[in-house]
Chains A and B, each alone.
Chain A
Amino acid sequence: MTKDFVKFENVYKRYKMGEVTITAANGVTFSVDEGEFAVVVGLSGAGKTTVLNILGGIDSCDEGKIIVGGKDISHLNKHDLASYRRYDIGFVFQFYNLIPNLTAKENVELATQICNDYLDADTVLDSVGLSERKNNFPSQLSGGEQQRVSIARALAKKPKLLLCDEPTGALDYNTGKNILKLLQTKCIEDGMTVILITHNSAITPMANRVINMRSGKVISNVINPNPLPIDQIEW
C-alpha cells in the first residue's frame, strides 16, 4: 500500500466575487495512503468541497501541488484533466446525478463506454445489490437505490480514487448507513482508496483517517488505527 497516495501541498484556491475575494482553500496540506478510507469533516464553507473538486479534476487550484498516485495533477490542461477524470477518478454526488433518461444499467454503461479497462455493468450492479433493478429508470428507484447506481457507476470505471461528496446528504438515516456500509466494504474488500467529505463528524470513527478542516485550512489529520464497522456507529 503506497504511502501518501494522495498528497496536497500548500494548495490555495481563491474565488473572485465582484470585488470580494474568497479564499476557499488557504494553504491546504494533507496526505492519504492507498487503500485508506479517509473522511474530510468540517462545517459548511470550511473548504471541503473545494478540496474535493480540485482533487476530482473538476476545478483547478491557484497555487500548490496535488499528487495523486505519483502524478502531479495541479497543472494539467483541460484535455488531460478530462483523461484524469476518465481513468483515475470515481465521483459519487450528493444528488446522484443520474441521467434520467437512462436505466440503471445504462447509467453505468455511460461511464464504462469511454473507459479502456472497466467492470461489467451487470457485475457491478450485482455487487451493490441492485440485481433486480438494473432496467429501471432513476425515477423508478428510491434515493438509496439511486445512490447505489451512482456508486456502481463510479466503481465500474475501476478508478484509483473514489471521491464522495456528502453521499448520504440527501438520504434518510438507515439508507445513509447502508450506503456508508457499501463504501466501507468496497474499501476493505477491494482495497479502494475512498475520500468522503461530510459535515457529520459522527461518522468519523468508521474512517482510517480523519481530516478536519476549518476556514480553508486543515486543522488536524488523524489516523484512526481501529476503524469501527458502520453498524456499531450511531448518530
Chain B
Amino acid sequence: MKEKGNQKKALRKNILREISRTKSRFISIFAIIGISVGFFTGVKSACPSMIETAERYFDDNYLMDFSLISTIGFDDNDIDEIKKLDFVEDIMPSYMADMIVTEGDVDNVARVIALSDNKSKINIPMIKEGTIPQNDGECLIEKYYAKLAGKKIGDTIKFNSQDSSMLKNTEYKIVGIADSPIYVSYSRGNTNIGNGSISFYILVRPDEFSSERYTRVFIRTKASQSNFSAFSDEYKNMIQDESDILEELSFDCINRFNSETLYDAQQKLNDAKREFSEKKSEALQKISDGEKQLTQGEKELNEKIADGQKQLDDGQKEIDKLKQDLINARNEYDNKLSNAERNLNYARTKFENKSDEYNKMKSEYDSRIKNVQKDIDNAKKEFQQKHDIFYRQTKPLFEQQLDSLQSKIDFLNAQTEIAENSIRRKKSLGLDTQKLERQIREYQQNILQYQKQYDNLSDEFSDYEQEFINAENLFKSTEQELENEKSNLSEKLRNARNQLDSAELKLAECQAEYNNISSTGNFDVKMLETEITIGEKKIRQGREKLETEKQKAIEQLNSAKEEFENGKKEADEQLSSAEKELSDAQDKIDKLQNAEWYIYDREDNPGYSGLVEDAQRVDNIAKVFPLFFLIVASLVCLTTMSRMVEERRTETGTLKALGYSDRDISLKYLIYGSTAGLGGCIVGGIFGVTTLPKIIVDTYGIMYMLPETKIVVSQADFFISSIVAVMCICLVAFIACRSDLKLNPATLMRPKAPKPGKRILLEYITPIWKNMSFTSKVTARNLFRYKARFLMTVIGVAGCTALIVAGFGLRDSITVIGDLQYVDISRYEQVYALSDSGTSRQKQDIISKFRNDERFDTAMLSYMGWSSDTNSKKSNISLSARIVIGESYDDFKKMFTLRDRLTHTPIALDDNSVVIDERMSNVLKIKKGNTVGITIDNIPYNCTVSGITENYAGNFIYMTPQFYKNITGNEIKYNVIVTDVAEQYENSQHDIANDYMKDDDIITVSLISEQVEAIMSTLDSLNIVTFVMIFCAGLLAVVVLYNLTNINIAERVREIATIKVLGFYSLETANYIYRENIILTFFGAVGGLFLGSLFTGFIVQSIQMNNVMFPHIVRPMSYVWGFVLTFVFSMLVNFIMYFKMNKISMVESLKSIE
C-alpha cells in the first residue's frame, strides 16, 4: 500500500510539473472552457435575474392582481359584493382622474391616482425621496417625470381648473418622489383628454377625490398569494378563472344600478325638455324683426355714398385734361431741346475733329521745323570749322612764309645796295669791283629766286582764299533756303490754328442756344405740373372727406348690427346651452344605460408583458450558443491535448516500460484536461454570472423602472454546461492518448517519424502549379499537410465570423421591422377611437369631417376589435388577434398592404374568407385554405383563410364588412377611424390629434409613430446582445487562433530555426507561418459569412414571439464587418505571435531529434 501511495505521489508530481511547465497550453484550455461556460451561464442567468427582480418588486409592493373600472363607477354595494368572492384576499376601492397640466405652452396629461387607504395594502409606491402625503393638497410624483421635468420636493403641480369636479384641489405640493409598481416601463397609457396620451402620474391621498362613486377597484387575490411565479402559466390560469367570476358579478351589479338610479333621472329630464321648446319659439320671433330694420338702414347709406363719389369723379376728369396738356408741352419742349442738342453735338464733333487734326499737324510740323533747324545748325557748324581752319591755320602759315621770303628779299636788296655802294666807292677808288659785281649778280639771282618763290606762295594762298570764300557763299545760300522752309511751315500751322479757333467759336454758339432752349422750355412745363398737383390735392381732400363720412355712417350701421348680433347670439347661446344641458343630461343617462365593467389584470399594466417578453428574448438567444461553443471548445482541446500527448510520447513509453498501467498513464491527461476545464468552468462561470446578467438587465433596466438587480444564477445551466464541458475534455484527452497507449514501449521510445511530405492534388494541375510562386507552393503544401489544424482553424474562424455576422444581422433584422411594418405594411398613421354610443348616421358625419380635412390623405371608418381566442385544430395554442374591417375596400388598400412576403404579390380580400398574418399562420399551423377559429363578442366562428399576408408586429385578421355580416348576422358597428396624414402635415400629428380630441365623439387617438418608437426602443436594447456576441466572437477567434498558431509553431520549431539559419529575416520567417494563417482565416471568414447568415436565421427564428415575426435580413455592411473584424482579430494574434517566433533560438536546429 505504501508503495502504491508513493507511486501515485510521483505521478501527481509529474502532473503538477506538467501544468507549471506548459502554462500557456493549460491556460488556453482553461480560457476556451471558461469563455464557453461563462458566456452561456451568464446570458442564461439574465432572464431569471430579470424576472426575479421584477417579481420581488411586485410582491414587496403588493401589486394588484385586478384593476376594475366601470363606466358608471362603483358604490359600496358593489364593493361588498366583490368582497364576498372567496378568492379575494384584499380589496381597495380607489379613485383615478386624468388632469391637464399646462406648463409653458405645453399641455400634459397627468394621471392622478389615489394612494391606498389604511384599510388595505395594495400598490404601495416605492418612496425614493421625501414622505407619503399626510395633509390636504400634497402629492407624490413619479421619479422619471420628476427628473425629466426637473420637479423637486416643494414644487407644485397645478391643474387647469376647467374640470376639477373630481378633485378637491387644483394645486398639489410635491412632498415625495416615488415609483408605483403599476408602471414598470415608460409607457403611461392613453386617456380621452388632451392629446390622448398620459405624460406622468401623481399619487394623492384618497380623500382628495370628491367623487361620490369609486372610479376604480384594486383587488389582490389568491393567485398572487400562491407560490406560483407571477409570470407562470399557473398564475395566468388562476387569473383567467377569477376574471370570469368577476365578469359574471359585473352583470348583476349593473342591473341593480339600472333599475334603481337611472329610472328617476329620465323622468326629470323629460319635464325639462318640454319647458325648453316653448321658450325657444318666442325668442326666434324677436330676432327676425330686428333683422328687417337693419337691412333698411344699410340701403339708405349706400345711396348717399354714391352721390359724393360722382362729384369727385368730375374733378378727376378735369385734372386728366390738364395732364394731357402737360404731356403735349413736354413733347414740344423735348423736340426743341433734342434739335439743339443735335446741333451742339455736330459742332462739338466738328471742333473735336479739327482739334485732333490740328494737334496731329502741329506735332508733325514741329518735328519738321526742328529737323530743318538741325540742318541749319549742322551747316553752320561745318562752315565754322572751315572758317576756323582758314583763319587760324592756313592764313597765318602763308603770311608767315610770305613775310620770311619778303625779309630775305629785303635783306638781299639791302646787300645789293651795300654792294653797289661799295662798287661805286671802289670804282671810285678804282679798285676792282668785279668780285663785288659778281656778288651782286649772285644777289640778284637769289632775289629773283626768292621773288619767284614768293609769287608762287602768294598764288597758292589766294587759291585757298578763293576756296574759303566759295564755301562761305554756299553756306549762306543754304542757310537762307532752310530759313525759308521753316517760315513756310510756321505759316501753315498758323492757318490751321485759325480754322480750329473758328470751330470753337461755333461750338460755343451752339452751346449757348441749347442752354437757352433748355431753361425757357422747362419753365413752361413746371407751371403746368404745379397746376395739376394743386388739382389733385383738392380731389384727394374731397375723397378723404367722403371716406370719413362714409366710415362714420358705416360705423353707426355696424354698431347697430353688432347690437343686433349680440342680442341674437345671446339668445342663441342661451338656447343652445339650454339645449346642450338637456342633451348632456340625456347623454349621461344614455351612457349610464350601457354600463360595463372593464376587468384588467397585471398584463394590462403598461410595459408589464414587455418585461417578460424581453427577458425571454435574451434567453432564446442564449439557447443558440452552447452547442456551437462546445464544438469549438472541444476541437481546440482536441488539438491541444493531441499535441501534448505527442510531445510526451517518450515519457509515455518510459512509464509503460516501467510498468505503469494504461489507466495510470491516461489519468495524467485526464487530470490535466479536467483540471483546466474545471478551473475554466468555475472562473468563467463566476465571471460570466457576475458580469453578464447585470450588464443585460441593467441595459433593460433603462427601459424599466425596477429596483436594484437581483442576480439569480441559473444553477442548472451552470452545472449542465460545466459537466458537459469537462466530460468533453476528458473524452478528448482519452481519445488523444488512446492511440499511443496501444503501441508497445519500444515503439513509443523511438521518435515518431515526422509526417512525410506529400504531393497535393493541386500539383497535378500543372498550369496552376507551375505559375505559382515558390512561397505560395510551400504554403499550399503546408496547408494540406496539417489537415486537422486546417479544419480546426477554418471552423474556429468561421465560428467567429458567423458570430459577428449574426450579431450584426440580428440588429439588422430587428431594426428593419419598424420600416417594414409601419412604412410598407401598415401605412396608416393615426387611429381615432369613436365613442360607442354614436349612431351610424353620426359616424358618417364624423368621417366626412375627416375626409374634408386636407391634412388627411385618407380617412376610413373601420372596425378594430379583438378576437380573444384565435385557434386552429392543428395547434393547441390560442392567440389574441386584432380583427380589422375597413368600410371602403379602396381606402383599405391604401392603408393596409396585404401581400406575400417573398413575392410581394398582392392578396385580395373577398366576402367569403379572411386573410391572416404570417406569424399567426406559423404559430397556429394554418395554411391557405384551412380554417381558423375566431371569437367575436364571445361567440366563436370558423372562417376559411384565403391568404397569408406579410406582417411583423401584432396578429391581424382582415375581413370585409359583408363577411362580418355573413358570419355574425349583424350589421358591422365601426369603432375607429383610421387615417393617413398627408405628407406635409406628418410633423403636426399631435396638433391634428388635439384638434379632433375636442370632438365628443372621439375618445382617444393613438399615433402609430409613438407605437413605433416604443417598440423600437425595446428592440434597440438588443444592441447589447450584439456587442456581447461580437465580444465573445473576438475572444473565441483570439483563443482559437492563438492556440492553433502556438501549436503550429511548437511543432515546427526546428523548421523555423532552420530557415532562420538560412538567412530569413524576422519578417520573412513570420510570413512563412502567417501566410497559412491568413489563408485559413480567409477560408474561415468566407465560410463564416454563410454560416453567419444561417445563424442569424436561427437566432431570429428563436427570438420570435407569438405576435412578432422578425424578417431574416443581413445587410451587406454586416458581412463586411464580420469579415473585417475577423481579420482584425487574426492580425492581433499574428502580432502576438511575432514576438514568440522571434524568440525561437537557432541553436534549436542543431539539436538532435527528440
Residue positions of A touching B, CB distance < 8 A: 49, 53, 56, 58-59, 78-79, 82-87, 89, 91, 93-95, 97, 99-103, 106, 109-111, 113-115, 137-140, 153, 157, 165
Cβ of B764 within 8 Å of any chain A Cβ, yes or no, is: no
Please determine whether B756 and A59 come into contact, CB atoms closer than 8 angstroms: no
Contacts of A84 in B (CB 8 A): 1063
Please determine whether B1150 and A93 come into contact, CB atoms closer than 8 angstroms: yes
Please determine whether A139 and B754 come into contact, CB atoms closer than 8 angstroms: yes
Cβ of B1062 within 8 Å of any chain A Cβ, yes or no, is: yes
Q: How far is the CA of A114 from the CA of B1067 in the complex (A)?
A: 13
Q: How far is the CA of A84 from the CA of B754 in the complex (A)?
A: 30
Contacts of B1061 in A (CB 8 A): 56, 58, 85, 91, 97
Please judge, given known A-B contacts A97-B1054, A110-B778, A139-B757, whether A79 and B1149 are in contact too, CB under 8 Å: no
Say what secondary structure dominates the interface of chain B: helix
Please determine whether A106 and B774 come into contact, CB atoms closer than 8 angstroms: yes
Q: How far is the CA of A71 from the CA of B50 in the complex (A)?
A: 74
Please determine whether A59 and B1146 come into contact, CB atoms closer than 8 angstroms: yes
Out of B756, B1060, B1063, B1068, name the residue touching A139 (CB < 8 Å).
Answer: B756
Contacts of B756 in A (CB 8 A): 100, 137-140
Cβ of B1153 within 8 Å of any chain A Cβ, yes or no, is: yes
Q: How far is the CA of A106 from the CA of B453 in the complex (A)?
A: 129
Q: How far is the CA of A94 from the CA of B1149 in the complex (A)?
A: 9
Please determine whether B753 and A93 come into contact, CB atoms closer than 8 angstroms: no
Cβ of B755 within 8 Å of any chain A Cβ, yes or no, is: yes
- Produce 1/0 per residue, B1006-1018, CB < 8 A to A: 0000000000000
Please determine whether B1063 and A110 come into contact, CB atoms closer than 8 angstroms: no
Please determine whether A101 and B785 come into contact, CB atoms closer than 8 angstroms: yes
Please judge, given known A-B contacts A101-B778, A102-B778, whether A85 and B1058 are in contact too, CB under 8 Å: no
Please determine whether B1147 and A58 come into contact, CB atoms closer than 8 angstroms: yes
Cβ of B376 within 8 Å of any chain A Cβ, yes or no, is: no
Q: How far is the CA of A78 from the CA of B550 in the complex (A)?
A: 111
Please determine whether B1059 and A100 come into contact, CB atoms closer than 8 angstroms: no
Out of B1060, B1064, B1065, B1147, name the residue touching A53 (CB < 8 Å).
Answer: B1147
Interface residues of B in 727-786 (CB under 8 A from A): 753-758, 774-775, 777-778, 781-782, 785
Q: How far is the CA of A100 from the CA of B782 in the complex (A)?
A: 10
Q: How far is the CA of A100 from the CA of B774 in the complex (A)?
A: 16
The 30 listed contacts between A and B (C-beta, < 8 Å) are A53-B1146, A58-B1149, A59-B1146, A79-B1065, A82-B1065, A82-B1066, A85-B1063, A86-B1063, A86-B1064, A89-B1063, A91-B1062, A93-B1058, A93-B1149, A94-B1152, A97-B1058, A97-B1061, A99-B1055, A100-B756, A100-B757, A101-B778, A101-B781, A102-B757, A106-B777, A109-B774, A110-B1059, A114-B1063, A114-B1068, A137-B758, A138-B757, A139-B754
Contacts of B1058 in A (CB 8 A): 93, 97, 99
Interface residues of B in 45-69 (CB under 8 A from A): none
Contacts of B1057 in A (CB 8 A): 97
Out of A56, A78, A103, A165, name the residue touching B757 (CB < 8 Å).
Answer: A103
Interface residues of B in 1121-1154 (CB under 8 A from A): 1146-1147, 1149-1150, 1152-1153
Contacts of B755 in A (CB 8 A): 100
Q: How far is the CA of A224 from the CA of B595 in the complex (A)?
A: 128
Tell me how many residues of B have a C-beta within 8 Å of chain A.
32
Please determine whether A95 and B1062 come into contact, CB atoms closer than 8 angstroms: no
- Produce 1/0 per residue, B1063-1086, CB < 8 A to A: 111101000000000000000000
Can you add 17 more A-B contacts, CB < 8 Å, to A49-B1150, A58-B1146, A101-B778?
Answer: A58-B1060, A58-B1147, A59-B1146, A85-B1061, A85-B1062, A85-B1063, A86-B1062, A89-B1063, A97-B1054, A99-B1058, A110-B1059, A111-B1063, A114-B1063, A115-B1063, A137-B757, A139-B753, A153-B1062
* Chain B minimum-CB-distance residue to A88: B1063
Please determine whether B758 and A87 come into contact, CB atoms closer than 8 angstroms: no
Contacts of A138 in B (CB 8 A): 756-757
Q: How far is the CA of A95 from the CA of B1059 in the complex (A)?
A: 14
The smallest C-beta distance from A87 to any residue of chain B, in angstroms, reads 7
Contacts of B1066 in A (CB 8 A): 78-79, 82
Q: How far is the CA of A67 from the CA of B1152 in the complex (A)?
A: 29
Contacts of A115 in B (CB 8 A): 1063
The smallest C-beta distance from B997 to any residue of chain A, in angstroms, reads 81
Contacts of A139 in B (CB 8 A): 753-754, 756-757
Please determine whether B757 and A113 come into contact, CB atoms closer than 8 angstroms: no
Contacts of A82 in B (CB 8 A): 1060, 1063-1066
Please judge, given known A-B contacts A82-B1063, A100-B755, A101-B782, whether A94 and B1150 are in contact too, CB under 8 Å: yes
When A and B form their complex, which 10 residue pairs have the shortest distance between CB atoms, in order from nearest? Answer: A86-B1063, A139-B756, A137-B757, A58-B1146, A85-B1063, A101-B757, A97-B1058, A100-B754, A82-B1065, A100-B757
The smallest C-beta distance from B377 to any residue of chain A, in angstroms, reads 90
The smallest C-beta distance from B754 to any residue of chain A, in angstroms, reads 5
Please judge, given known A-B contacts A53-B1150, A139-B757, whether A102 and B781 are in contact too, CB under 8 Å: yes
Which of B778, B1057, B1063, B1146 gathers most chain A CB within 10 Å?
A: B1063
Please determine whether B1147 and A59 come into contact, CB atoms closer than 8 angstroms: yes
* Chain B minimum-CB-distance residue to A82: B1065
Q: How far is the CA of A84 from the CA of B755 in the complex (A)?
A: 32
* Chain A minimum-CB-distance residue to B782: A101
Q: How far is the CA of A97 from the CA of B1055 in the complex (A)?
A: 7
Contacts of B754 in A (CB 8 A): 100, 139
Out of B777, B1055, B1146, B1152, name the residue touching A95 (CB < 8 Å).
Answer: B1152
The smallest C-beta distance from A38 to any residue of chain B, in angstroms, reads 19
The smallest C-beta distance from A34 to any residue of chain B, in angstroms, reads 21
The smallest C-beta distance from B47 to any residue of chain A, in angstroms, reads 51
The smallest C-beta distance from A45 to any residue of chain B, in angstroms, reads 14
* Chain A minimum-CB-distance residue to B1068: A114
Contacts of B1054 in A (CB 8 A): 97
The smallest C-beta distance from A195 to any residue of chain B, in angstroms, reads 15
The smallest C-beta distance from A59 to any residue of chain B, in angstroms, reads 6
Contacts of B1063 in A (CB 8 A): 82-87, 89, 111, 114-115, 157
Contacts of A83 in B (CB 8 A): 1063, 1065
Q: How far is the CA of A85 from the CA of B1069 in the complex (A)?
A: 14
The smallest C-beta distance from B1052 to any residue of chain A, in angstroms, reads 9
The smallest C-beta distance from B164 to any residue of chain A, in angstroms, reads 89
Contacts of B1147 in A (CB 8 A): 53, 58-59
Q: How far is the CA of A195 from the CA of B357 in the complex (A)?
A: 111
Contacts of A137 in B (CB 8 A): 756-758
Q: How far is the CA of A95 from the CA of B1063 in the complex (A)?
A: 18
Contacts of B774 in A (CB 8 A): 106, 109-110, 113
* Chain B minimum-CB-distance residue to A97: B1058
Contacts of B777 in A (CB 8 A): 106
* Chain B minimum-CB-distance residue to A136: B757
Please judge, given known A-B contacts A100-B755, A139-B753, A139-B754, whether A111 and B1062 are in contact too, CB under 8 Å: yes
Q: How far is the CA of A110 from the CA of B1055 in the complex (A)?
A: 12
- Produce 1/0 per residue, B869-881, CB < 8 A to A: 0000000000000
Q: How far is the CA of A234 from the CA of B1150 in the complex (A)?
A: 27
Contacts of B1068 in A (CB 8 A): 114
* Chain A minimum-CB-distance residue to B1063: A86
Q: How far is the CA of A54 from the CA of B288 in the complex (A)?
A: 129
Q: How far is the CA of A85 from the CA of B1061 in the complex (A)?
A: 7
Which of A56, A94, A100, A111 gathers most chain B CB within 10 Å?
A: A100
* Chain A minimum-CB-distance residue to B1065: A82
Q: How far is the CA of A95 from the CA of B1151 in the complex (A)?
A: 8
Q: How far is the CA of A152 from the CA of B753 in the complex (A)?
A: 23
The smallest C-beta distance from B1075 to any residue of chain A, in angstroms, reads 14
* Chain B minimum-CB-distance residue to A139: B756
- Produce 1/0 per residue, B505-518, CB < 8 A to A: 00000000000000
Interface residues of B in 1041-1062 (CB under 8 A from A): 1054-1055, 1057-1062
* Chain A minimum-CB-distance residue to B756: A139
* Chain B minimum-CB-distance residue to A79: B1065
Q: How far is the CA of A47 from the CA of B351 in the complex (A)?
A: 122
Q: How far is the CA of A32 from the CA of B753 in the complex (A)?
A: 39
Q: How far is the CA of A78 from the CA of B1063 in the complex (A)?
A: 11
